[in-house]
Every structure is written in C-alpha cells, then in structure tokens.
Structure 1
Amino acid sequence: MSKGFCTRGLLRFFIYIGLLKPSTSYSVNDANKIHKLLFNQTDEGYNKLVLPDKPVNVSAEYNFLALNSLNVKEQILETTGWFTVVWNDSRLTWDKSLYGEIDYIYVPEDKIWHPELIVQNSILVLRKNLGAEQTVRIQYNGEVRWEPPAVLSTSCDMDVTYFPYDSQTCEIELASWGFSADVVNLEFFKTHINLEDYRPDEEWDLLTTFQETSNLTEDELVFSELLFRMEFKRLYGHYLMSVIFPTILTAILTFVTFFLPLESGDKIGYILTVLLALAVLLTLFSDTMPTTSKHTSVLVVFLTVTLGMACLVIIFTIFIIRLFHQPEHDKAPKWMHSLARKFLKLKCKAGRINHLDHLDQSQDIENDSPKDGRVHLKSKKKFTPYTNKELAEFFDYFLFELLKHSTSYTVSNANRIHKFLFNSTDEGYNNLVLPDYPVNISVEYNFLALNSLDIKEQILGTTGWFTVVWNDSRLTWDKSSYGDIDYIFVPEDKIWHPELIVQNSIVQLRKNLGADQTIRIQYNGELRWEPPAVLSTSCDMDVTYFPYDSQTCDIEIASWGFSVDIVNLEFYKTHINLEDFRPDEEWEIITTSQQTSNLTEDELVFSELLFRMEFKRYYGHYLMSVIFPTILTAILTFVTFFLPLESGDKIGYILTVLLALAVLLTLFSDSMPTTSKHTSVLVVFLTVTLGMACLVIVFTIFIIRLFHQPEHDKAPKWMHSLARKFLKLKCKAGRINHLDHIGQSQITENDQPKEGRVCLESRKEFIPYTNKELAEFFDYFLFGVFTVLYILVLLCFPIVLSTST
C-alpha cells in the first residue's frame, strides 16, 4: 500500500516538474503582457504607418532553394527560395527579465511597419510579390526578422551564341518601392547568396553567385536596390546526342550525293530527302531559340549554311545529270574539258589515276612508260576529248572532293502629424471627399522592360510604373511645428486618390493600377503615388514589311468614373521616362511620344493620356532562318526544267520542292496575325512562289506527256511554229541547238557554215520536229521563261521590303 502511494507521488512530482520547466522560458501570460506593452490602444501606442527611424537600414539575404526553369526562348528565369529581411524598430523592445526571459514573439506582418519590397525584374506582377500575410519575428532588443517566400519569374538577358555549350548569368533585383534611399536603405545581410538548402538542377549547373548594390533614380529621388546574381552552365550531354550529332551527320550526308553513281537514278531523290531533313532540323531548332538578333546561335548559322550548300548541291547535281544524258553529238564546252584535264594532271602527279584518263596508247612514248602503273599526262602527244558521260562522272567526283574539304526625423513628431491629419472627429479627413474641383492629376510613365510584342495575338507586354502627382490642401502641416518633417507615408486606401485604369488593357480594367501601395505626402499637400504596372495591352500591328517592320503601340490611361470637369489628367513630364529601361533582345525602342485625348459618353467627357512607343525589329535572326531558306527554296523551283527528261526525277523533284514551300508557308503563317488589314510581303512572296511551283508542275506533266507520246500522234502546228521562231532568233544570234536537224542534201556547198554554225534561213524545207525534240525544246524554253519570272519576283521582293525604311 505504502509502496503504491510512493510510486504515484513520484509520478505526480515528475509531471509537475516537466510542466513547470517550460514555463520558466515561456508562458502565455508573459507573452500576452508583451503584446499589450507593444501594441496598446492608447494615443501613444504603436502606429504601423510611422517609420521606426530615418533612415531605416534594411538588411536582406536571398536563400536559393531550387531552379525551376531557365527558359531560353522566353528569356525567363524561374526560381524558388525566400528572402531574409532584418531591420530594427526601437518601439518594439522589452526587458526580458520582466517577462519570463522571453527572447522573441511572432506577429503577423500587417500588425507592424515593414519595408515595401518588390522584385524589380519580375515579369508577373510587381505589387505584393514579397510578403502575403507572413509572420514576423520580433526580438526583445527591437530586431525584426521577416522571411517572405518567393517563387519568382524574372526576366534574364540570355546569350545563345554557343548553344549548347552556353552559360547564362541572371539577376534577381530587389528594390525598395515608394521609399527613397534616405528613408529606407537596403544592404546585404550576408556577403553571399545562401545555398545551404539548394537542390541541384538536372539541366543547369550553378557555377557562381555574387551580389551587387545599385540605385534607381527618378526626379532627383534615389531608390536603393540589391542585385542577387547567379551564373548557370548548361549540362550539354543531352543536346550533344539529340542536336549536335544529328546536325553534323545530316550535313555530311549532303555532299555524299556526288558519290552516288549517275546510273542509279537516286541522286535527286536522295539530296531532296537530305534537304527536307535539314529544313525540319532548322525549323525544330529555331522553335527552341529566342527570336532575337542580338545573339545568333552558331548552330543556327551552321544549319542555314548547310541548307544553302544543299541547294547548291541540288543545282550541281541537276547540271551533272543533264550532262550525263546529253547526246554525244552535242559537245560540252571547252572549259569543262580543260578543267577536267588540269585536275587529273594534278592527280597524276600525285601518283593517282582515274578511269577517265583514257590515252591514245599508240601515241605514248615507249621510253616514258610509267613505272608502278602510273601514267603521266606529259607523255601524251594528243588528248582524246572526253565523252559527256565521262565529264559528268568527273564533275560528280570533283564536286565531292571540293565540298568534302569546305565545311531629422522622430517617431513622436510623425505620430502627431498622423493624428493631426487623420483624427476621427467630425471635421477630420474623409477619403471619400475630393480635394477640389477640378483635381489636376499629373501622370508620368516609367518604362522598365518590354516583356513581349506578340505579333500573332497583337499584344504588347510591358513592365514599369506610373508616377501620379496631385495636391490635397487638407493634407498640409507646418513642418517647423513637427520637427521639420517634410513628408510621411500612408497606405493608398487611407486617403482619396484618383481611380485610374489602363483603357486598352486586355486583362482587367478595374484595379489594374494600385493595390495597397504606399503614397508619399509632402508637407505642402503634394501627394506622390507610384503604382507598379505589369501590363498586357492591345496594339494594332502592321506586319506588311516583316521582318523589317516597326510597330507603334499605346498605353492608354484614363480617369474612371470622374469626368474631366472633376478630374483632369495631364502629363507630369514631356516624355516617357527611360532612365531604367532594359534593352530588349528582339526589339529596339526608337522613339516615344505622348498625347492627350478625351472619351465621350452621354455628353460626359473623360480625360485620357496616351503614352506612345515605337519599336523596330532586329531582323538578323529572321534573315538566317526565314528569308534565306525561302529564297533558296524558290530558286530550286524553276531548276525543274533543267533536269533531263530521261532521268525520271522531274515530278518527284518539283513535288518535294512544293512540299517544302507549303511547309514554309504553313509555319510562317502560324506566326502571323489572322488579319486581312495588313498582309505580309513575305507571305505574298511565298504564295506567289507556291502558285508558280504549281504552274511548273502542270507544264512538267505536259512536257513529260509529250516526250512519251507516240511519233504517229503528231503535235499541234503551233508547237512547231513556236519552236522554229524561237530557234530562228537563236540562229540569228549565231547559236544553234541540236534540235535544228537539217537535211544536209538541201544545203549547198557554198552555203556551208563556218565554225560549225548552221543558219535556219539556208534551209529549203523544214522537216517536222519529233515529239521528243519538241518536249526537249519546251523544257529548255520554259526554263528560260521561269528563270526570268523568278528573277523579277526576287528583285521585287527586296525592293518592296526596302520601302519600309
């Protein structure tokens, strides 16, 4: 019995000790007392609208948790982390020995004064991107520690020149909003970014981090800013396998075309397939690159150059095939024989010989007989001319070899001003009452960054802020009676302020300006309000001269609800403020202007201000990835007629070119707005080229049908007549074609032509052309016609584009 009693007694004792021990360091009663001490409701109590001191030194640290994405195309850095913000407030102190040795307490952030901080280069929203009802820790000595989380999307100027071996340096710009540097001074809490909890990324390696202080200047006011800078290097293994190797391999396949035997009949089909693969690679790769001309990727340049060389290979291949199928009596020019001999002579000197080096053995000198099977061209007394097939094989090999080697402030005085201005008596300040009639509102737009200029959607995306200034005679004080305090800060909902909207915003009209921002009140009644503005506004864009176009867009700010006789808007300055503007990668800002306007509704006139900006596109990227491939593909169209009819590749060739043009037109049209008001010259050029390609197909089918038509089925007379008239013009110029077959018995001996020339005028009677000869004539004739047409179109294209300047 006594043993059980003792056991229960000891258990109660230990439980009592366990409960008592925590109470020595913290008790609810003592914490309540601290809260009452700091936040009592008397006249002399804590006022969160009043700053602790002047200046307030605010220390900030960035704790980097994870890299969410580094979007090279959109030039956006997405990160997860948090900021540690520390400052001192002498009003928030207590003697911990009197309050149970409690070192610190926690309060909501809206309970006390805290600095208005924003991430300056955020692309989403500037207001409240730091802090959202977070808890603040207050130390007994007045040190306040605030740790707002930050999932950020920030703009970053990225250089893709050496993709995928590139590295990118990005910044997170933390600034004090509304409070100038003489009021709130930002400084670093530590000498480096905190990476203790950083999780490594799969695509990017974090190389280094560093920090830098900076200032923003506006109207002689200096605002403090901190830059947290991070350098990332791309892990290139994935791109090496999926981009670099396929690109190089496809490029190598281009010049291998000349290694295919001419008899195989697959040369054109082969190179067209390679060309299509290169076009697909270029298109897919360009889709992942930013549309900027400031930094052009070496890989894009390599792909474009390879595409150009592939087009040259096609032209040379067609020439070689045509030479291969040319009749032997139609001799090749002398320069071809000369080039072949000189090249083979160099090979022969190197101890190599080709089957093209056919020599008349009867004319070789016996003593000069080569050793080791080598044949020296010097031993030849006379060269036997090469056949067309041999020349075709030579140029096939020659081009293969050639391309292979080329490739006074006090808290008490501030409190008195707040009480003086905002007392709760009947005669006190009423934020529902306007200061005067009319209220003159001065507005300035401060342009920070161009986020996007979406041509297809006709949307302008910008980041900046407005400076709004007006006077309220009710908000004045004699600064000599209040410690010479020049200004105070109050939340915007505490006083009357104009209802302003961005009239051409596509997101929302209400409250797109202002959201619990701080307003600065000068002792003379001047109020300064600086609402941030991340805007998406409509813009009528003209793409006629794309990519040599320039666009003019407006930001329309209007007074909402108050007509011009009540609230009158005017410009604060004569120009848009570009002091802190960050240049864009794709667009250059040329000029800015301002203009006043009015909106009328039911005889009520509302004031409106237009902030106008003109941008000009950097066209280098589009020159390499759009203009150049388009012109090359267009050139390939009329080369169809140069392919010999015997090759059997004409239809397959032109259909593949037509497919490439259709793909280019489809991809390009997808990025253009669906409007008929402004039609792009480049779209017109592509459409005309596509139409001419369709005509080429029709004519090609007609020629092939004529070529295979039986001889007893005679062609119409107009075909013979056209052929004779055209060849007669050629004959007058001293040239003749193998189509001009003339009966030798009808040419007199005295009329024998000199130097192999035969004039049609000397013919007594024309023998009708065969269907095959007519087909060859129309192939040659249409080649000339379409060549002239395409040259005219290609000349008109840059001339029209040049008028954009």
Structure 2
Amino acid sequence: MWEGPWVGLGLDTKRSVWLDYSVRRAGASCGASEDGRERSKSHGEDLEWIDVKLRWNPDDYGGIKVIRVPSESLWTPDIVLFDNADGRFEGTSTKTVVRYNGTVTWTPPANYKSSCTIDVTFFPFDLQNCSMKFGSWTYDGSQVDLVLEDQDVDKRDFFDNGEWEIVSATGSRGNRTDSCCWYPYVTYAFVIKRLPLFYTLFLIIPCIGLSFLTVLVFYLPSHEGEKICLCTSVLVSLTVFLLVIEEIIPSSSKVIPLIGEYLVFTMIFVTLSIMVTVFAINIHHRSASTHSAMAPWVRRVFLHQLPKLLCMRGHVDRYFAETEGSAGAGGPPSSRSALEAALDSIRYIARHVMKENDVREVVEDWKFIAQVLDRMFLWTFLLVSIVGSLGLFVPVIYKWANIVIPVHVGNANQ
C-alpha cells in the first residue's frame, strides 16, 4: 500500500483538455462473418493529456516524479469506438502513469471490433477498406480535443494473419459539427488484402481442372456412353464446389464474386457440352432407315470442307453407279436364254450388294459427321475455356499484384 504523501486529484472541466491520441502495441486480425460484415480488431491505444491539478514539486515529495494511479481514481476521457460491432465500448481498467508536471498517460488494453461492409467482387483476390472511428462520447471539442500523434500507424507491432495482409494503415482527424458544438474524432483507415494461396489451391485450380476436363468429353468416341456420364459427373462436382463457396463467402446480393462467376460460366459450359454431346450421339446413330437422304450442303460442308480445316483425314464418298449390261447377239437361242438367266441372277446379286453398300455408306457418312462435330466442338470449347479463364482471372490477379493505395480510404462517416 502507498504510504507516502497523497497527491490531490481533480480536473477543471471548464478548461480545454488536449488528448495526444495514437494506436500502439496493437494487434490486428480481420475476417468475414456470415452477415457479410468484416471484423477488424485492434488492441490497445495510447491516451495522453495534462491535468493541471495533478502537478507537484518532486523536491517536496522525496524526489518522486512518477506515480501510478488506478484509472478509476481520477478523471479519464470517455474515448469510444463509434462503429462498434460487439456492443462493448469500454476497455480494460488499468493504472494510469502520472508525472509531476501533470502529464497523464493511459494505455488501456482493449479488444475493438469494427464493422464495415465487405466487397467480395474479386474474391479471393479482393482488397478491403475498413475504418475505426474514435471520439469522446459526452464531451465536445471545447472540453476535450483530440490531437493525432502520427498519421502513419507502425505496422511492425501488428500480429501476422494467415488470411489477410495489411497494405496500409493511416490515421486522420476530423470534426463533426451541429448547431451548437463541434466534436473532434480520429479515424484509422486500414487497407487489407486477402492472401489467396489457400483458395487458389483448393478452389480455383480444381475448378479450372474441371473446366478443361469437360473439353476431353469431345475426344471420346461418339458411340461411347461414358461421354454423358463424364459430363454429368463434372456438373455434379461443380455444384458441390458452388455449395462450398456459398458457405465460405458472406451472403450478398449486391455483387457476384469472381469465383462464383467462373463457376456459373463453367456450369453453363458443361451444360452446353451435354447438349452438344447428345446431338453428336444422335448424329452418330443415324441410318438410311431412320432418316432421309443427307442434304447436299451437309455433305459438302461436313464431309469435304470442315475436315480440312480441323486437320482430319478426308472422308471419301464411294458410290456405285448402276450400269445396265446388255447381252450380245448371236448364239443359239437355248444358249442365249441360259445366259440371260445367269445375267439376271448376277444383276439381282449386284443390286442387293449395291443396296447394302449404300446403306453402309450412309451410316458411315453420319458417323463421320459426328466425328467432325466432336472435333469442331473440341477446339471451340477449348478456346472458350482458355479465353474465359484468362479473361476472368488475369486482369484481377494483375490488379491485385499491383495495388495502388488510394489517398483517402475507409468508410467512416465524415
């Protein structure tokens, strides 16, 4: 127990008190909650002011220049976080450091949670701005004024976070005025960016792999039923990924996340591939008995022109011209009748063989058209997949890697 001479405590509230305000020895961690709000935590703040009634002469008190007094025993400023998220506005009660010249230093440890809107447009390559606004709850500027010690926050005292990286942390002082008074406040603005390695490895790369796996569907033979099975399996996998992302990303109807756009793009991509595959299988199983003769333009485009453009081996049309043979004159009537009977049999066999050959040729033509369609959609879907993936991710990754910090950040109410 302190047994020395007591120092009179008090404060003349009619005088203006200047607070030297800063955030030190702070640790920060940020994350997204289910309600779509971002939580930014800061621990510890330094408050310093001069109380003229707490001055003494060290020579009169045994050379004592510094004492430590419980904060409950003297006046302390009611500095609170205005945009508080957890409903707790007070910090932990600790002792204040009082010097003989009346300077009072108070560093109350506190766990502040600030709520700010999160923008998941470019998730997981997103950049978030979150601010923390501090000020007096009951005193106006004529009674308690805030002086910002330093605009730049020392980031070396912040704890590391495996999901977020602090890009910029700055402070600014502002005033809010009404009809009679003005109220000073200090705003700390934090610019943070997400570290996307985890989401890249476990979300983006598998989604891109599934997208390119869809392209391989068109490389399978058209008569294989596994084409539809593969497409359906990829579609189910994408649906599972979409459900996983819905659990990770805060729900918001204002913007669509980048990874969500890519998943929707891939699902449409796979759905179209299923439709095209069904059409190609239908083409593959066509025959002369089920469909009418092939149109001339179809034969010209799919049997002659497209195979050359797609680097495929040409399909040769083989048609037999039915020629009518005539029996030569001469010979005895009996020999002529026997020869005509033999020729009739040969003609019958030839017509039958030619008919079977025509049917087989029609079937082969339709199968070749199915192969041409598969090859055409293979290159088309591969090109669309590459262009779509690069078009969605490359600009965002480039922007994320070359972040330009804005002059004024934060979303505090000015």
Band of TM-score, shorter chain: 0.7 to 0.9
1:34-60 Cα distance to aligned partner (Å, 9 max, x none): xxxxxxxxxxxxxx4x3xxxxxxxxxx
Alignment TM-score, normalising by the size of structure 2: 0.77
State whether residues 596 and 610 of structure 1, in contact with CA within 8 Å, keep that contact through their aligned partners in structure 2: yes
Given candidates 793, 797, 801, the residue that maps to 2:392 is: 797
Matched ranges for 1:309-388 at <5 A:
none
- Report the equivalent of 2:268: 691
Per the alignment, do residues 726 and 609 of structure 1 end up closer, same or farther by CA in structure 2, a change over 3 Å counting? farther
State whether residues 78 and 137 of structure 2, in contact with CA within 8 Å, keep that contact through their aligned partners in structure 1: yes
State the shift of 1:725 in Å. Answer: 2.6
- Report the equivalent of 1:448: 26
State the shift of 1:537 in Å. Answer: 1.4
- 2:135 aligned with 1:558, yes or no? yes
- Report the equivalent of 1:612: 189
SS at match of 1:544: coil
Given candidates 50, 68, 73, the residue that maps to 1:494 is: 73
State the shift of 1:569 in Å. Answer: 1.6
State the shift of 1:780 in Å. Answer: 2.4
Inter-partner Cα distance in structure 2 for 1:651 and 1:668: 26
Per the alignment, do residues 727 and 704 of structure 1 end up closer, same or farther by CA in structure 2, a change over 3 Å counting? closer
Given candidates 115, 118, 123, the residue that maps to 1:538 is: 115
- 2:41 aligned with 1:465, yes or no? no
State the shift of 1:589 in Å. Answer: 2.3
SS at match of 2:283: helix
- 2:209 aligned with 1:638, yes or no? no
State whether residues 19 and 146 of structure 2, in contact with CA within 8 Å, keep that contact through their aligned partners in structure 1: yes
Per the alignment, do residues 594 and 723 of structure 1 end up closer, same or farther by CA in structure 2, a change over 3 Å counting? farther
State the shift of 1:700 in Å. Answer: 1.8
- Report the equivalent of 1:315: none
Per the alignment, do residues 736 and 778 of structure 1 end up closer, same or farther by CA in structure 2, a change over 3 Å counting? closer
- Number of aligned residues: 360
Matched AA of 2:49: W
Inter-partner Cα distance in structure 2 for 1:466 and 1:691: 52
State whether residues 455 and 671 of structure 1, in contact with CA within 8 Å, keep that contact through their aligned partners in structure 2: no
State whether residues 591 and 614 of structure 1, in contact with CA within 8 Å, keep that contact through their aligned partners in structure 2: yes
- Report the equivalent of 1:485: 64
State the shift of 1:591 in Å. Answer: 2.3
1:49-91 Cα distance to aligned partner (Å, 9 max, x none): x3xxxxxxxxxxxxxxxxxxxxxxxxxxxxxxxxxxxxxxxxx
Given candidates 741, 749, 752, the residue that maps to 2:317 is: 741
Inter-partner Cα distance in structure 2 for 1:724 and 1:562: 88
State whether residues 723 and 777 of structure 1, in contact with CA within 8 Å, keep that contact through their aligned partners in structure 2: no
1:382-411 Cα distance to aligned partner (Å, 9 max, x none): xxxxxxxxxxxxxxxxxxxxxxxxxxxxx4
Inter-partner Cα distance in structure 1 for 2:33 and 2:128: 9
Inter-partner Cα distance in structure 1 for 2:306 and 2:40: 62
- Report the equivalent of 2:381: 786
Per the alignment, do residues 704 and 604 of structure 1 end up closer, same or farther by CA in structure 2, a change over 3 Å counting? farther
Per the alignment, do residues 716 and 546 of structure 1 end up closer, same or farther by CA in structure 2, a change over 3 Å counting? farther
State the shift of 1:726 in Å. Answer: 5.2
Query: What is the RMSD computed on CA atoms of the aligned residues?
Result: 2.9
1:355-402 Cα distance to aligned partner (Å, 9 max, x none): xxxxxxxxxxxxxxxxxxxxxxxxxxxxxxxxxxxxxxxxxxxxxxxx
State the shift of 1:735 in Å. Answer: 5.0
- 2:213 aligned with 1:626, yes or no? no
Alignment TM-score, normalising by the size of structure 1: 0.42
Question: Mind listing any 5+ residue stretches in structure 2 that lack a counterpart?
Answer: 323-360, 403-414
Matched ranges for 1:155-194 at <5 A:
none
State whether residues 447 and 578 of structure 1, in contact with CA within 8 Å, keep that contact through their aligned partners in structure 2: no
Matched ranges for 1:634-673 at <5 A:
634-673=211-250
Inter-partner Cα distance in structure 2 for 1:703 and 1:455: 47
State whether residues 449 and 584 of structure 1, in contact with CA within 8 Å, keep that contact through their aligned partners in structure 2: no
SS at match of 2:62: coil
Per the alignment, do residues 603 and 660 of structure 1 end up closer, same or farther by CA in structure 2, a change over 3 Å counting? farther
Structure number with the bigger relative contact order (C-alpha 8 A, sep ≥ 6) is 2
Matched ranges for 1:17-166 at <5 A:
48=1, 50=2
Matched ranges for 1:500-519 at <5 A:
500-511=79-90, 513=91, 515-519=92-96
Per the alignment, do residues 614 and 715 of structure 1 end up closer, same or farther by CA in structure 2, a change over 3 Å counting? farther
State whether residues 556 and 608 of structure 1, in contact with CA within 8 Å, keep that contact through their aligned partners in structure 2: yes
State whether residues 586 and 617 of structure 1, in contact with CA within 8 Å, keep that contact through their aligned partners in structure 2: yes
SS at match of 2:266: helix
State whether residues 287 and 362 of structure 2, in contact with CA within 8 Å, keep that contact through their aligned partners in structure 1: no
Question: Mind listing any 5+ residue stretches in structure 1 that lack a counterpart?
Answer: 1-47, 51-410, 423-428, 747-766
Given candidates 777, 786, 790, the residue that maps to 2:372 is: 777
- 2:8 aligned with 1:421, yes or no? yes
SS at match of 2:291: coil
Matched AA of 1:607: P
Inter-partner Cα distance in structure 2 for 1:536 and 1:716: 75
Per the alignment, do residues 553 and 522 of structure 1 end up closer, same or farther by CA in structure 2, a change over 3 Å counting? same
- 2:336 aligned with 1:721, yes or no? no
Inter-partner Cα distance in structure 2 for 1:571 and 1:588: 24
1:224-279 Cα distance to aligned partner (Å, 9 max, x none): xxxxxxxxxxxxxxxxxxxxxxxxxxxxxxxxxxxxxxxxxxxxxxxxxxxxxxxx
State the shift of 1:768 in Å. Answer: 6.8
State the shift of 1:462 in Å. Answer: 2.5
Inter-partner Cα distance in structure 2 for 1:670 and 1:481: 67
Inter-partner Cα distance in structure 2 for 1:579 and 1:705: 66
Inter-partner Cα distance in structure 1 for 2:109 and 2:124: 32
Given candidates 505, 526, 530, the residue that maps to 2:103 is: 526
State whether residues 500 and 559 of structure 1, in contact with CA within 8 Å, keep that contact through their aligned partners in structure 2: yes
Per the alignment, do residues 685 and 716 of structure 1 end up closer, same or farther by CA in structure 2, a change over 3 Å counting? farther
- Report the equivalent of 1:549: 126
Inter-partner Cα distance in structure 1 for 2:310 and 2:199: 46
SS at match of 2:166: strand
Inter-partner Cα distance in structure 2 for 1:604 and 1:678: 40
State the shift of 1:623 in Å. Answer: 2.5
- 2:163 aligned with 1:586, yes or no? yes
SS at match of 1:448: coil
Aligned identity (percent) is: 23
Inter-partner Cα distance in structure 1 for 2:41 and 2:293: 67
